[in-house]
Amino acid sequence: MITKENFYYSPINNLSFIDNLIFYSKLILFTVAFALLITLSVLLGKIIPSIEKWLPVLFHKMLLWLLSVEVEIVGETDQSKKSNLFISNHLSYLDIPILGSKFPMRFVAKSEVEIWPFFGFLAKNGRSIFIRRNKTDSFNQKNKILDVLSSGEKVFIFPEGTTSDGNRVLEFKSSSFSSVEKQNFKIQPIVILYSDLNGIPINRWLRPLIAWYGDMDLKPHLSKLVGLTSIKAKLIFLEPVNTENFENRKDLSNYLEGRIRKVYSSTLSKKLAFTVVRAWFPPSDVKQDRQVVRPEPCAISTRASPNHSSDTERSRCFLTYSGTPLSEART
């Protein structure tokens, strides 16, 4: 299990004075703006419904600005405006502000999220649709999503049902599409991936700094993510799909899963190779200069699954790019 003690080195500890000053200045501005948004939502949300829809979009944009997240859009987005249901693969809690910054939409979340500290508050103010995952109440839950879609609002679902380690797309749950089975709706499939951290191309050893999965603790993971000075993400919009073209939700789910997995896998494989050195952390004997350092390599199998015991070893490793630690690679 990846825990607070054996997780990746926290880059926030080595941020320069200027980086810290910029971040905390942005945090103060973000806090003030967030308070204003909540006030506007309470005072004007019921009077002007359009404000209630667009405030979450503005909040997500502000959050991306605070975390220095840059989003690249690939593909045709005009058709998305006509789509009802949006879906994508799921890697991290960061997926939500990235996707939610593009359109007013309502995310589907498990009912437990509603009572989570802070995140539950954000989810409720973001007008999330909370679903109970039990078969006895599946009909009512399906109708809850269908009613929102029928009203003309856009709904977002993560069909994997959980987050992955970012190295592959998990199997889609066909129940995610029960609300649109034998209906006439348009689905917009999206591929989300993260390409760079602090100017360094991401590979499987760096993805746990973004991907949040398995038994990872939220607090230490979030502190490390906040410590990054830049994050680049990519949204790939695929061709929309009409639900009426599929006989059942199983066929629809398999088709969409195959398309997203194919594009995600091919995009990862096309990423430019770069020189990395795997090293034990903390490498006290490694010189922090611009020369390539060759300390003792990590004894890790790159084929290990997210739940494999060797993940404990993998999580103690970090990458060096031309001899420069991730935390210092901004320059």
Residue 17 sits in a domain whose CATH number is 3.40.1130
Tell me, yes or no, whether 41 lies in a domain.
yes
Tell me, yes or no, whether 253 lies in a domain.
yes
Question: Tell me, what's the pLDDT at 180?
Answer: 92
Tell me, yes or no, whether 309 lies in a domain.
no
> Edge-to-edge strands of the sheet including 324-325?
277-280, 317-321, 324-325
Tell me, yes or no, whether 169 lies in a domain.
yes
Rounded Cα distance between 84 and 184, Å, is: 10
Question: Tell me, what's the pLDDT at 45?
Answer: 63
Rounded Cα distance between 110 and 130, Å, is: 5
Mean pLDDT of successive 10-residue stretches along the chain, which has 331 residues: 42 58 77 76 67 83 90 84 91 93 89 78 82 71 88 93 92 93 93 91 86 87 83 94 93 96 88 41 42 37 36 40 38 35
Residue range of the domain that includes 163: 11-274
Rounded Cα distance between 178 and 182, Å, is: 9
Sign of the dihedral defined by the CA atoms of residues 121, 122, 128, 129, in that order: negative
Q: Where are the alpha helices (DSSP H) in the chain?
A: 17-44, 49-66, 95-100, 119-125, 138-150, 218-226, 249-269, 311-314
pTM above 0.85, yes or no: no
Which SS3 state, helix, strand or coil, does residue 227 take? coil
Sign of the dihedral defined by the CA atoms of residues 54, 56, 57, 58, in that order: positive
Tell me, yes or no, whether 60 lies in a domain.
yes
Tell me, yes or no, whether 303 lies in a domain.
no
Tell me, yes or no, whether 327 lies in a domain.
no
Structural contact between residues 91 and 211, judged by C-beta atoms closer than 8 angstroms:
yes
Torsion on CA atoms 299, 215, 163, 225, rounded to nearest 10: -80
Tell me, yes or no, whether 312 lies in a domain.
no
Instruction: Quote the number of domains for the chain.
Output: 1
